[in-house]
Amino acid sequence: DVKVTQSSRYLVKRTGEKVFLECVQDMDHENMFWYRQDPGLGLRLIYFSYDVKMKEKGDIPEGYSVSREKKERFSLILESASTNQTSMYLCASRGGGAMRGYTFGSGTRLTVV
């Protein structure tokens, strides 16, 4: 089974801090995604990557950046954390082919105080 591992389950950070969320997948998937999940809003795409060093903005990229230096690792960066970035962050990966679904990590619950 594909495994997607997010480095932290819970994080508490201060306003203005630079925050790194790490995600690693073990199945050589080309595509990786970062979503945030908020009650009543579902999952909203922040950024995605379709290859090493390749990235594209999702629907809500403001305040975030990403890095993909190796195929298995996709990092989400909050340049200057704000309280409205308090959320559950989910990483997902997906292999090539039209019939493939996403495999999600367990999520990181980030609280910005």
- List residues near other proteins by CB under 8 A: 30-31, 33, 35, 40-45, 48, 50, 56, 58-59, 90, 94, 98-107
Min dist CB 15 to other proteins, Å, is: 26
Closer of 33 and 78 to other proteins (Cβ)? 33
Closer of 12 and 41 to other proteins (Cβ)? 41
Q: Is residue 54 a contact partner of residue 44, using CB atoms and an 8 Å limit?
A: no
The DSSP code for 84 is G
Q: Taking the CB of residue 113, how many other CB atoms lie within 10 A of it? A: 10
The DSSP code for 69 is E
